[in-house]
Every structure is written in structure tokens, then in C-alpha cells.
A and B are shown apart, each in its own frame.
Chain A
Amino acid sequence: MAILVFADNHGGKITKSSLEAVGYAAAMGGDVTAVTFGSIEGDGGMGNYGASKVIVAGNATSDPQQLTRLVVDVANAIGASDIVFSHDTTGKSVAPRVAARMDAGLVAGATAIPSGKEIKKNVFSGKAFAYVEACTDKRVISVLPNSFGLKASGGSATVEQYSGDCGSAGVIVKDFKPTSTDGSVPLPEAEMVVSAGRGMKGPENWGIIEDLAGVLGATTACSRPVADIGWRPHHEHVGQTGIAIRPNLYIAVGISGAIQHLAGVNGSKVIVVINTDPEAPFFKAADYGIVGDAFEVVPKLTEALKAFKSAH
């Protein structure tokens, strides 16, 4: 069985969620070819996650139409039964195009490798799961970031240049504005997230949240009203109508835990809630909780974590 993975790269570095997609394809048990664009160093680390061959299209950009032509051409050439993407910001642009072009069933946001023909995915914003089957011979799968994890195998892949034509680009990238200049991990990929809500009283109080995130190497997030009133940028808004995340650790400070908020964070492996109100609904969805004032508890927790970090 031949499986093709589309791998995204940023400035030549294969993204973490793409490495995860490579590992997912390898776990499906096929011969994995990965395809990417621009230029990368060596096999981009993809052999280490199970790719046996890497194809680089130096003549393609991140344009979804070029990438669609590239992916479909390579998929046909290697006779791929499955084409795997990450369900990230690039995958969401390219996977649907590829599925439409190949007239193949697309399972978007898979959280586990196929079991027989069934693929598990989240539905109703994480409030339930669905087991989905493709009715077509060929199948396109996009993997929800942080759902499979990074599983290194220690291999390496052969690298080949793509010699076909990817055509012209329909979408031209003019500029890129990074959300963080401090190098913190983007929210969808983050393994640790410290999030805060209206309980923080005002934007000037976010210092203690940033300090806590800093000691953990976590990314910061917030509830919707906090983004809506401009205390924090929109891209930090998590929940049903914001970003859905699945970190290993989610610490929620001064967030009540409304159903729409929980919908975006309930995939987190461990949830810690800090709230003054013992009746806050978030405690029902939490693994660990502290009933207390954020302004006292958070600095103490930061200190305790610093002590822990220096001892470990």
C-alpha cells in the first residue's frame, strides 16, 4: 500500500504537525512518500518519522492550486491509496481541493489511525466523536494536530526533486506577520497552554499569566469575551468559535467554563482550573483545581514551578 503525505514547511523547516502526519501515515502500515515544496535540508527530518522517500518541488510555492496539482500528480504516479495531510492552516486549503480533484472521500480532522475502514474524528466541536468511512477507492485524510503525537522511528528517507509542472499560483503571499516575536509555539501545536478569562479584570493584569506561561514554555490563550473587548488579540481566543486546541496541559485562570469555551479545549489531556468560585462549571471538566484568587495563586504557582524546574 502506497501512502502519500503532504508536508508543509516554513522557510525550509517541516512543521511539527506535518511530521505528525508522516508518523500517522507510517502507523497506517504502508510505504510512505512525503511531498513538499520550495527547498528543505536533507529529508527534512521526515525519514525519522517513517517516510521512505521525500519529493521536493522546487518550482512550487505555498499556493493551494500549485500544491493540489503537485499532490495529485505524485499520488497518481505512486498509486497512492491514501493521501494524508495535517488538518492545519495549510492542510485546510489543500486537502479539500485534492479530494475534489480526485473525487475521493475526505475525512477531515482524524484523531486516530483507521481501524478497518473506520476513521475516528471529533464532531460537535469535540462534544462527540464520529467514525467515518470513505465510500471511494482513494481516500484523503487530514490529521488533527496534537492528536496522534510525534513518534520517531529513527529512519531516513531518499530525496528526489520533482520534475513536473505545478502551473501558476492563484494566491500570492505578499507578507507574513508572526503572532509572537518571542518564539512561542503556535496555539494549535502547543503542548502547554495557559489561558485566562474575564476573571483577570483587565489587560494590565496579564503579566502573571505570561510569567506562568514563561516558566512552563507554554503558549497563552484567552476566552472569547476577553478577545472581543480587546484585552487580548483575537488569535488567542479558544473555544467553539475560536481555535480548538488539544495540548497536554491546559491551565484555565479566571474562566467560568461556559459550554462554548469547553468545546474548544475539551481535547486537552490534563486540565487545571483556578477560579474563585467553587461552583464555576469549569471544575466539572477539570482534572485538577484550585479554588482561589488568581492574583494570589498564579504567582505562587509560578514560583513553585520555578523551584521544580531548577530541581529537575
Chain B
Amino acid sequence: MKILVCISKAPDTTSRIAFTDNNTAFDQNGVQFIVNPYDEWYALVRALELKEAQGGSVTTITVGGADNDPIIRKALAIGADDAVRVDAEALDSLAVAKYIANYASANGYDLVMCGKETIDYNGAVVGGMVAELMDVPYVSLAIKLDVNGSVATLEREAQGGTEIVEASLPLVISASKGMAEQRIPNMRGIMAARTKPLQVVASEGINASTKVVRYELPPAKAAVKLVSADNVAELVDLLHNEAKVI
């Protein structure tokens, strides 16, 4: 089975969020970038498990500049066979999806896997767009994935419960918590990653369909109102009369 895993970089979860250029750009000063957790912990690891059980290959794909190479090497250290970086600016989700779909369609994958969303833009949209552009089925928010021949069986998060679904390959999925357990790369993996192939594909100049006009930080929160543990009735009163939520 040929598997393509979409990997993107995201600021570390403890990053201080700030903006520059008149609030039009994310301030990367001092920010540590990681592999987007959903891509790494769930999509990539499940792809590796499927390969280990059934044979095949796991390739990662990333759209963006050379500043992505450290996180791509991390994915290779965890176990991907090789990596592709489409050397274009990741202008917006649809542009990224077009680059990925072009590459995936041209190179024939059985399975394209994404994380359920990135933790910076929180779009949850690239996988679905890739699927539409490739004209194949898409299962979002998958928490379980098994492949038997040309048919995949999945569990996915749905409103109020879990859906058990079936779809035939080729297929695009987005992975959510529960699909696999995080793997920490070992020394051998890290050494091997240095020499694994990272193919850089030239950009194709796709336009953006959306743009961020500006960013804003939430207003500072007022100080907490403390209520004595011996007087919980006061809390009930505040929730009713002041906060008006009960």
C-alpha cells in the first residue's frame, strides 16, 4: 500500500502568541515549531503501523519553504520512508490542497492521510479539499482505520457518537485522537532521517482564495471572583444573578 501523509508545522503548544507588522503577521520570534500534533501522533503513526503490518511505503508531503525541513526530518526520524516538499508559499488551505492533490494524483497513492486540523489555523479543511480535487471519498475525524484489500473500515467522530463507516481506496482521511499512540523517535531513527530522501518539487504558483486581513488578541480577562468553600450558595447566586448562566 502506498501512503501519503500530509505534514505541516505548527507553533509549539506553549508558544506565546503575538503579532507583528501592524497585527497582520504571526510573530515567529522565539517560537519553536513542531510537527502539527494530529499529523504526527495519529496520521503518521497509523500509516507506519499499516505499512509494518501489510507492506508498502509511507511518504510525507509538506507545502512550504525550507524552514519546514526540520519538522520533515522529525517525521522521517519517526519512520516515514521519504518526504516531498512542494516548494511554494502555503498561502491558504485551498492552495495547499491543490498542491497536494496535484502531487498525489500524479503519483498514485492508495491512502492520503492528514491530521484532523492544524493547531494554529484550526481549519480542518485541507483533507476534504484534497479528496474533492482527487475525486475520491473522504472520511474526516477518523479515530480508527483498518484496510483490508481495497476496502477501508473506519470509525469516526460524529455528532453524539461514533460512526462505523466503509469506503474503498483510494481514499483521503483526517486523523483524530485514538487512531494511534505517539511514537518518540529513537537515535537510530534520527540518524537514518538525515540520509532519507527529501525531494523538493518546484512551486506551481497557485493563488490564494482567502486572506487574513489582521489578527487580534483576546481582551485581558478580569480578575477571578473567589467564593469561600463554606459558602457555595453565594456561587449559585452569582451564577444566577450576575453571570446569568443558570
Contact = CB atoms under 8 A, between A and B. Distances in A.
B119 A179 contact: no
Contacts, number: 274
- Interface size, A (range): 35 or more
A305 B124 contact: no
Given A65-B137, A96-B127, A100-B97, A304 B233 contact: yes
A108 B92 CA distance: 12
Interface string B33-55: 00001100100000000000000
A289 B227 contact: yes
Most chain A Cβ neighbours within 10 Å, of B11, B153, B164: B164
Interface of B is mostly: mixed
A108 B125 CA distance: 8
B225 A288 contact: yes
Nearest to A124: B17
B158 A176 contact: yes
B157 A287 contact: no
A241 B233 contact: no
Interface string B208-234: 111111111110011011111100110
B216 A95 contact: no
Contacts of B19: 128
B235 A301 contact: yes
B149 interface: no
A181 B89 CA distance: 47
Interface residues of B, number: 81
A104 B92 CA distance: 12
A289 B119 contact: no
Interface in A298-312: 300-301, 304-305, 307-308, 312
Nearest to B238: A288
A290 interface: yes
A98 B153 CA distance: 24
Nearest to B134: A100
A8 B163 CA distance: 15
Interface string A175-187: 1111110000010
B146 interface: no
A39 interface: no
Given A172-B167, A291-B226, A272 B210 contact: no
B22 interface: no
Contacts of B129: 96-97, 99-100, 106
Contact of B209 (A129, A136, A177, A290): A136
Nearest to A183: B160
Interface in B61-116: 92-94, 97, 116
A135 B91 CA distance: 12
Given A89-B141, A128-B218, A288-B224, A106 B93 contact: yes
B124 A92 contact: yes
Given A10-B160, A291-B229, A270 B210 contact: no
Nearest to B168: A170
A283 B131 contact: no
A150 to B, nearest CB: 16
Interface string B163-187: 1111110000010011000000000
Interface of A: 8, 10, 15, 17, 63-65, 68, 87-90, 92-101, 103-109, 118, 121-136, 170-180, 186, 188-189, 192, 216, 227, 234-235, 237, 240-242, 244, 248-249, 259-260, 263, 266, 269-270, 272-273, 283-293, 296-297, 300-301, 304-305, 307-308, 312
Given A129-B217, A170-B168, A287-B222, 16 more contacts: A64-B140, A89-B156, A96-B126, A96-B129, A105-B94, A118-B213, A123-B121, A136-B209, A174-B153, A174-B166, A176-B162, A177-B164, A291-B229, A301-B236, A308-B236, A308-B240
